[in-house]
Amino acid sequence: MQATKTIGLVAHDACKQDLVDWVTLHRDLLLTHHLVATGTTGSLIENATGLKVELLKSGPLGGDSQLGARIAEGKLDMLIFFTDPLSAMPHDVDVKALTRLATLYNVVMACNRMTADFIIESPLLNQPHTRPPLPEKRA
């Protein structure tokens, strides 16, 4: 991982404003990093903060899968994914796949604001870091 991180941003509908508020609060820390987001979430962030965000498709239309592909290709360093644990998601299988890939590939991941706060304040945020190798396939 380079000092400048590629950070994925996504939020379920009930959590989108919370993510926009979080990005707004940490705008100066995020300014030097490459931000990638699912379409609706990314548009809300851009409009609220003026930050440049690479927009993917909306989550249910494949944006979650696009983020997952970035993880598998080694092109995403962090994932801030504010999830709504109280609502069923029609594309839940994509959400589970994204979480699985982030775990498998040792991508830094926050699913709530408190974890995201700890990550954004980490001294490792703006430093190069070596990601551990993938685990061996288990029988």
Beta strands in the chain (DSSP E): 6-11, 34-37, 53-55, 78-82, 108-110
How far CA 67 is from CA of 25, 124, 138, in Å, comes to 24, 22, 25
Which is the catalytic residue, given 18, 21, 64, 117?
64
Q: Does residue 128 contact residue 2 with C-beta atoms inside 8 Å? A: yes
Residue 64 is among the residues annotated as catalytic for this protein:
yes
Query: What secondary structure letter does DSSP report for 76?
Result: -
Active site residues: 64
